[in-house]
């Protein structure tokens, strides 16, 4: 009888342990624990490889964003926006910002209409992002172009129209969040709400 109790307890304990390990692995995976960390060299190489496409993307985005708006957009895939934000350019007022928006819906049409965009606008933008091997873009100076995510963190290119003023170089070259490549290109890593705000791999 005691032996059966011990065996039963061992089975329950084993199942519980396996379930806990599985839950822990799922939690780590959800926060990007198994995602690739990109080095500074990785970002530099990708920019050089896709420079023409990145500048074409930047030019196109500048043309389609209304002059009085700031717009940020990230694609999860061809059918979903991972993040979409719109606000007046020179305003500290509230910003429209939502996650996981389905593209092919009437609601998306109603969101796009005030800025003069359509689903076709999104399709063209997604194609240009894919060509540049990127997933996200924000309007402004500099134009911030999201390269890849690692968990909640994002690796980005800050692409300037004009050379960075000397009095801003220190800000954009802190050897943590920002890495100055030249006066028109700054690499950036943002770790999200709970992650490190510095590049992991400085090589």
pLDDT at 82 over 80: yes
Q: Which parts of the chain are beta strand (E)?
A: 69-75, 80-88, 96-102, 136-138, 143-150, 153-159, 178-182, 185-190
User: Within a domain: residue 129?
Assistant: yes
pLDDT at residue number 196: 75
What pTM value is reported for the model? 0.82
- Is the model more confident about 195 or about 34? 195
Do 103 and 22 reside in the same domain of the chain? no
Do 156 and 59 reside in the same domain of the chain? yes
pLDDT at 22 over 70: no
| Alpha helix segments (H runs only) across 33-89 | 40-49, 51-64
Do 146 and 109 reside in the same domain of the chain? yes
Do 152 and 60 reside in the same domain of the chain? yes
* Residue pLDDT, tens place only, 135-157: 999 999 999 999 999 988 999 99
* Residue pLDDT, tens place only, 103-128: 999 999 999 999 999 999 999 999 99
Asked whether 136 and 72 are in contact (CB, 8 A), the reply is yes
| Average pLDDT of span 43-56 | 98
| Average pLDDT of span 34-59 | 93
* Residue pLDDT, tens place only, 87-104: 998 878 789 999 999 999
Do 80 and 5 reside in the same domain of the chain? no
User: Within a domain: residue 14?
Assistant: yes
Do 78 and 108 reside in the same domain of the chain? yes
Q: 24 falls in which pLDDT band (50, 70, 90)? A: very low
pLDDT at 60 over 70: yes
Q: Position of tokens 């920002």?
A: 178
Do 186 and 112 reside in the same domain of the chain? yes
User: Within a domain: residue 161?
Assistant: yes
User: Within a domain: residue 197?
Assistant: no
Overall domain count for the chain:
2
User: Within a domain: residue 116?
Assistant: yes
Beta-bridged to residue 99, according to DSSP, are 83
Range of the domain at 159: 35-190
Do 25 and 42 reside in the same domain of the chain? no
Distance of CA 85 to the CA centre of its chain: 13
Question: Residue 40 corresponds to which tokens in the numbers above?
Answer: 């500074």
Q: 28 falls in which pLDDT band (50, 70, 90)? A: very low
pLDDT at 18 over 80: no
User: Within a domain: residue 149?
Assistant: yes
pLDDT at residue number 197: 77
Do 99 and 140 reside in the same domain of the chain? yes
User: Within a domain: residue 203?
Assistant: no
| Average pLDDT of span 64-82 | 98
pLDDT at residue number 183: 96
Do 172 and 122 reside in the same domain of the chain? yes
User: Within a domain: residue 199?
Assistant: no
């Amino acid at each position: 009888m005691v032996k059966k109790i011990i065996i039963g307890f061992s089975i329950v304990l084993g199942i519980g342990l396996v379930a806990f390990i599985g839950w822990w692995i799922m939690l780590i995976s959800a926060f990007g624990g198994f995602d690739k960390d990109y080095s500074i060299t990785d970002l530099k190489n990708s920019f050089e490889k896709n420079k023409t496409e990145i500048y074409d993307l930047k030019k196109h985005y500048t043309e389609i964003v209304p002059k009085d708006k700031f717009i940020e957009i990230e694609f999860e895939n061809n059918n979903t926006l991972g993040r979409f934000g719109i606000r007046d350019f020179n305003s500290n007022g509230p910003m429209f910002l939502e996650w996981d928006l389905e593209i092919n819906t009437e609601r998306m049409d109603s969101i796009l209409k005030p800025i003069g965009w359509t689903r076709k606008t999104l399709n063209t933008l997604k194609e240009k992002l894919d060509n540049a091997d990127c997933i996200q873009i924000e309007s402004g100076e500099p134009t911030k172009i999201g390269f890849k995510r690692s968990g909640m963190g994002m690796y980005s290119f800050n692409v300037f129209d004009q050379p960075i003023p000397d009095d801003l170089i220190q800000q954009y070259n802190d050897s943590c969040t920002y890495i100055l490549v030249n006066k028109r290109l700054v690499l950036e890593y943002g770790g999200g709400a709970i992650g490190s705000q510095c590049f992991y791999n400085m090589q």
